Amino acid sequence: MNRSRFVAAGLVLGASVWMLGAPGCNDAAQTPAIANSQSVEADVRALLDRWIRAFETRDLDGVRSVLATDKRFVWLEDGESRYQSPDAVVAALASFPPALSFSHAISASKVVPISDRAAWVHLAAKTEIRQGDQVVSAFPSVVLMLVERDQETWRIVAAHSSTPKAQGRPPA
């Protein structure tokens, strides 16, 4: 197993173990009921909208506000740990030249409520980076997120984004 796959497998295993250790999640009979899965889904979709809007407008405080503030936060890209704190995400966004603008188009998404306070999110998106009217970079991505409601709002606790593999290309 190559290193990227090992790291990605570790993230999924770690998140699963974390969820199993959460109060009420270590026994199927104790798994908390989801009082209103439609409400969870609506809240999580609002979180995604806030995340995209903050990123596209370069609202650094807004970006920081959608990310978990504790030590569990991690964002992986293509299986590699890229950002280990909200400050690292904000610093990366701030490092782009001001003349560049970003847009994100979500083409598919699925929210899977785990409880009233946690959900998995899977989405497919296309990101464009522009300088004026010229597209300088465009790429598709798939993203898997673990989101959680804290005392204030929903936040992204962990995420993994990757570029879809080209059709017909053998696995690494």
Q: What is the pLDDT of residue 16?
A: 44
The two tokens of residue 124 are 């497919």
**What does the domain layout of the chain look like in residue ranges?**
3-21+35-162
φ and ψ at residue 137, rounded to 5 degrees: -160, 140
Q: What is the mean pLDDT of residues 63-81?
A: 93
The 10s digit of each residue's pLDDT in 152-163 is 899 999 999 998
The 10s digit of each residue's pLDDT in 122-148 is 999 999 999 999 999 999 999 999 999
Are 141 and 164 a contacting pair, CB within 8 Å?
yes
Q: What is the mean pLDDT of residues 34-56?
A: 91
**CATH level 2 (architecture), domain 3-21+35-162:** Roll (3.10)
> Whole-prediction pTM value?
0.76
